[in-house]
C-alpha cells in the first residue's frame, strides 16, 4: 500500500524534531525566503531535516493543505507548524524562536541567535 502524501508529511514532521519544507535544500536554497529561514537555522546550528518541495509536486501542494498555509517555506518543530519566512524572522528577532527551541529540547547556539538580533537591532 502506498503511503499518501499526507502520511509522508506527517511521518516527516513527527520523526524529526525540526523540519523545514523549502524550495531547494539547506545547502542550495532555490528562493530567497527559503534561503533566509535555512540561513537562520544553519547560523544558529540547529539540526533539521530539509524537504525540497521542488523535487515532489505532491509534497509541494500537500504541505500547503497539511498546514493550511499557502506559502513555502514552512517550519515545523516537534510536529507543530511554526510558520513561514516572516513569522520565523519575527520570532528570531523577538527571541521567541529561542524559547520555542528551549521548550522543545532543540539544541541551538544562543550566541549565534543573539548575534542575529544585534545585527538587526
pLDDT digits 0-9 by tens, 9-53: 999 999 999 999 999 999 999 999 999 999 999 999 999 999 999
Verdict on whether the full-model pTM lies above 0.85: yes
CATH code at position 85: 3.40.30.10
pLDDT at 1 over 80: no
85 is in an annotated binding site: no
Q: What residues does 95 pair with on adjacent strands? A: none
Which range marks the domain in which residue 109 is found? 5-119
| CA distances to 37, 111, 121 from 84, in Å | 8, 23, 21
Domain count, the chain: 1
Using the CB atoms, write b or e for 104-114: b if 16+ within 10 Å.
eebebeeeebe
Are 56 and 49 in contact by the 8 Å Cβ rule? The answer is no
Sheet containing 18-22, strands listed edge to edge, beginning at the edge strand earlier in sequence = 49-52, 18-22, 74-77, 80-83
Amino acid at each position: 500500500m502506498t503511503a499518501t502524501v499526507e502520511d509522508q508529511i506527517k511521518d516527516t514532521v513527527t520523526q524529526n524534531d525540526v523540519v523545514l519544507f523549502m524550495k531547494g535544500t539547506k545547502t542550495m536554497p532555490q528562493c530567497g525566503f527559503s534561503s533566509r529561514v535555512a540561513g537562520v537555522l544553519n547560523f544558529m546550528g540547529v539540526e533539521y531535516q530539509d524537504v525540497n518541495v521542488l523535487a515532489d509536486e505532491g509534497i509541494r501542494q500537500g504541505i500547503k493543505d497539511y498546514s493550511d498555509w499557502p506559502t513555502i517555506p514552512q517550519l515545523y518543530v516537534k510536529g507543530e507548524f511554526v510558520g513561514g519566512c516572516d513569522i520565523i524572522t519575527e520570532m528570531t528577532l523577538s527571541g521567541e524562536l529561542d524559547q520555542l527551541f528551549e521548550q522543545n529540547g532543540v539544541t541551538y547556539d544562543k550566541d549565534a541567535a543573539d548575534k542575529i538580533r544585534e545585527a538587526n537591532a
